[in-house]
Homo-oligomer: A and B are copies of this chain.
Amino acid sequence: MPVYTCTTTTATLDEKSKKDLAAEITRIHTEINHVPSTYVNVVFPELPTGNIFTDSAPSSVLLINGWAREGHPADETTQLVLDLARASSRVTGLPVENILVVIQSSPARFAVEGGRVLPEPGQEAAWLARNTASDRSGPRPGRPLPQ
């Protein structure tokens, strides 16, 4: 359900940092927003040095923008962004000054996954139960690539 877009320059994160950051974002989102990890997407657009500016000069910020369904308790979303920022600094080694985390949201009924409208926060159990039943023979959401 959620999508986290982590924008940086190509010089900022190595393969291990991206993998570890994806894992931490997935873990934290799962814990706080009660979404199974199978539904957490993390995307890394990496731009050439010189295509990200801060204060009108080329910079090396890490900009994390997450989309989640509207309606989660506000204090939990604040906790989510705080935890994400701390974990991002820890696993990447970047100073917290260089990390911005933002959550945006829209109503669950404005989003579709697996062909079905997403459930409202708090209604995940019924939605997931139906999904498991109907998809028993199909791929998991976000089918991992064959390695």
Contacts and interface: CB of A to CB of B under 8 A. Distances in A.
Contacts of A100: 1, 3, 41, 111-113
Lowest 5 A-B CB distances belong to which pairs?
A: A54-B142, A96-B115, A22-B53, A85-B112, A57-B144
A144 B58 contact: yes
Q: How many copies does the complex hold?
A: 3
- Chain A interface SS verdict (over half): mixed
A103 B31 CA distance: 25
Contacts of A142: 54-55, 59-61, 97-98
A143 B59 contact: yes
B41 A138 contact: no
A107 to B, nearest CB: 7
B45 A45 contact: yes
Interface in A76-97: 77-78, 81-82, 84-86, 89, 95-97
Given A97-B115, A99-B114, A104-B106, 19 more contacts: A1-B100, A5-B7, A7-B45, A19-B56, A27-B56, A42-B54, A45-B47, A46-B51, A59-B143, A61-B143, A67-B104, A81-B117, A84-B112, A95-B138, A96-B114, A96-B115, A97-B114, A102-B106, A102-B111
Interface residues of A, number: 78
A145 B47 CA distance: 14
